[in-house]
Amino acid sequence: MSHILGYLSNDDSLTGKAFEEVAQAWSPKSVAGLGLGWMQESRTLERKDPRGDDELDVLAALGGLRSRAIVCRVRGEGEEQSDSDSMHPFRFKSWMGVARTVAPDLEGVREAIEEELPDFIKTNTRGQGLDEVLFHWHLMHLFAQDAFHVARDRPEVSARALGASIVALEERLEGPFERFQVVLMTGRVMLAASVGAPMNVRAWRGIEEEPEEPGAPGSRGRVRKRPYFRGALCVGGEVDGDGWERLEDRSVAWVDADWGVKSERF
């Protein structure tokens, strides 16, 4: 089974601690392929491994990224392998995206979908994968609804445009997706949507950090409180533990200016 993930915070020095906290709740057991995207000094970077490795610790790889904005897609066993250009994550300017897609005959309408993309977006495609076309389709709808450049200040507008892009895809399919999940991000924005599959979110308002150096024998040392830390994590798939909220089916979610995770149905 494949998994997708999006993470956004206000402090890249605490990324490792945040992923340590969710290790018991979410940890992929099978890694047949891995794609990571992250922001660093206003640049979008990526790491893609089409082959994967069951020995790979995905959470350690995520926690080792000194970044405030991360997307990830883990390809599970049985999913068709693709070349690195066709792998997630996909990028366009400051945007990154990952997705999980299961739909009847989506390949049958792919050519028509691709033809609708404006040239300035279409020329950004590098691979042959369907999901890359859909990533650019979502961005086209953000542009068309004036939601691309306002995402930082009005993320709810961009989230609704994302929901509208999914509805428009289903109209071309003449039916709903069996399963569909997507996370789109910049260094300041996280949008997510889910159809037919569980998607869970967690938000932080403060975090505690264990000291790197141990204290006296038998002592844990002094725990450092970080009350100003803010963060949000969105995971496509099941989680186990407290502090999570499951999105309603056919919902879009976004992180607002106060670092709350908001959602509404589309």
**What CATH number is associated with residue 127?**
3.60.20.10
CA geometry: angle 82, 85, 89, nearest 5 deg: 90
Residue 79 CB-half CA count within 13 A: 22
Selection from 42, 52, 32, 35 nearest residue 12 by Cα: 42
Domain count, the chain: 1
The pLDDT value recorded for residue 33 is: 85
State pLDDT tens for residues 79-110: 666 666 678 899 999 999 999 887 666 667 77
State pLDDT tens for residues 124-139: 988 777 788 899 999 9
pTM of the model as a whole:
0.91
Selection from 256, 235, 236, 230 nearest residue 10 by Cα: 230
Band (pLDDT 50/70/90 cuts) for residue 78 is low
CA-CA-CA-CA dihedral for 93, 38, 129, 60, to nearest 10 = 180
Residue range 8-22: mean pLDDT, rounded: 96
- Residue numbers of the domain that contains 185: 3-213+222-265
Looking at 36-50, 212-226, 230-244, which range is the least confident one?
212-226
Residues 66, 36: Cα–Cα separation, whole Å: 13
CA-CA-CA-CA dihedral for 5, 234, 229, 148, to nearest 10 = 90
CA geometry: angle 123, 6, 80, nearest 5 deg: 65
Reply yes or no on whether the pLDDT at 219 is more than 80. Answer: no
Cis before 118? omega within 30: no
Reply yes or no on whether the pLDDT at 212 is more than 80. Answer: no
**Are 61 and 53 in contact, with CB atoms under 8 Å apart?**
no
The pLDDT value recorded for residue 249 is: 96
Reply yes or no on whether the pLDDT at 46 is more than 70. Answer: yes
